[in-house]
Chain A
Amino acid sequence: MRLYLKFLSIHFRSAMTYRASFFLSCLGQVLITTNVFLSVVFLMERFDSIGGYTLPQLSLCYAVILAGTSLAECFARGLDAFGRILSQAQFDRLMLRPRPLLFQVLCQDMKPAMFARVLQAAVMLMWAIGSGAVAWTPQKALVLTLMILCGAGVFFGVFLINACVTFFTLEHIEALNIFMDGPREYGKYPFGIYGKPVLLILTFLVPLALVQHWPLQFLFGRGPGWYGLLPLAALLFLIPCGLLWRVGVRHYRSTGS
């Protein structure tokens, strides 16, 4: 952990050597997601509500997804850029160091500019809380925390799968963006809005609905309390992801490509 923090500080300082581009890239990241949220604002201006959700509730919904993706993108950047790590033979170098490989990949690259989005998510969350999107209780606060952390966990799993596929294909597969960029874009509404098939896929296949749609039902007083514990179940997704990683490393060991 201490080592991880050291790496974090190195990446921060590297980013700071090019201060102007660091702030511009922060600005760029925030503008993109602000636009996504503005689309919600404009549609709510016209339609007032959708599926019974109000604008503050949707703000809360998007803040959760935004915080989750940004945390994952900041800390699992090494997995996102894994094609580069492989093609520049950095992975060979990591294998020459006496530490777990996945840990080292995570240390290899981080994206501090993503913190700008975490900040943005915090602002949206505070606004939502202030506008009375939810009748707050300690349990609900806990569920919200779980949603963000487990959300980051599920996104981490998605990034991990992306990296594992890269072991075999050696190049980034654009189709995987569906699960990497897609949720950040479409997580602005609870996934139930998109209809049953989408909700089923995101519940059982890539369990993003377990950190967003279902626990939101509990927060908004539309579902039973156990929905609030579903974010923990979403973490089961990490088991197959972890196994796939092992398969990938084995494959790399035997082909060396």
Chain B
Amino acid sequence: MLKRKSKILVTLVVLSILLVSVNLVVFASDELIVGVGGWAVEPTKRALEELNFTEKTGIEVTVTTRPGSPPEFISQMTSSILGGQTPYDVIDLEDDAAINFSRSGWLVDLDPIYDDAFWEDWTPGMLEMVDTWNRHEGELFRIPHNYETQYFFYRKDILAEKGLEVPQTWEEMVEVGKQLTTDEMYAVSDGLAKGGYLGVYVSYLTQQAGGNPFDFGPALRESLQFIHDMIYEHEIFPSSALNKDFDQVNNDFVNDRVAMMRMWPYFFDYQESQEDWYNEDKVGVALPPKGPEGRDTFVASWGWAIPNTSDKIDEAKTFVEFMTSVENAPKLAKMSTWFLSPRHSIMEGIDVEESRLASNLKKYSDAGVISSRPFHPNFRQASSIVEELASAYLTNQISLDEVIERGQEQMKALEE
């Protein structure tokens, strides 16, 4: 009896060792894996279907979600690439993550895919943005597929009801805000969580105060003070926002808990998807309230990039070329605002008045309030420094002076 039991045991042990050592469980895929943010999965899938990508190129594609916030995404990708692999063959990259990846040398140069005719489709402003945020040492490591500026959304109906005008300056925001705030609704909110959200709002306000957040100068001081006052002194801004990302704030807005907010353009699609709630008269878009030095909002873009550890680089290039070609760009822009940018072909191809986003983009651009994003070569860590100190100040752990002092120290250490 002992003999039989031990034989079974031995076989089991040997089998497990074999299984583990040979790593028999292989889940490789023959499909091209494209990683996009959660909100972009549906639009991308639909675009591929309607444009018949697989029929035209013979390439099967799996569109999957990548971590939404830059630091988490960077961690995931870095470990993977260091191991000689990548979880995705094509990635949709935001500016934040792109900067760090560019300097690492891990992304494939996309220049060879495009010719001069392609670049003629781009406006001078866009080309400038491409150079700063998408090129490194001459190589094009990412090709933007959209051009997003942040809009100032407000509840037309509620302001009209209370006989209020849309605020045009920071001071008016406070005045109007006090009259708007009730027990159920805050006048103003934004996503103030760390991890790529708070940094955006702080940069936005700091620019309006006339400076660059990474300098840790008077402009940053003014903008942080403004947020702090809105939360604690005027009480028109909820402190719970300190734990919220953009999706949660959007959720608050469509549940009547917030009346005004700065938000990225995917909110246009989002609000319309709330069929029970949405109607045309509820939400209006106004120019950003003017700060001490300006009322600018900055541009950000997402773009396609190919990690050079992918084993399907050629197919990936085909995908990228397809999704950004002059022929397809207008069609994609019509399908989803995720692919909207002021490229000539797109502006000609779509009816500007028909699309809320395009008409607002035009409004902002005509008013000259679109500027470029505050830049830093080690964007990710610099942003983390700003966010951590800003968050500590906004939760009343340190004073503004300490924010400035520590910030300058840490930035210096970073740049050494």
Chains A and B bind each other: no
Interfacial residues, chain B to chain A (CB-CB below 8 A): none
Interfacial residues, chain A to chain B (CB-CB below 8 A): none
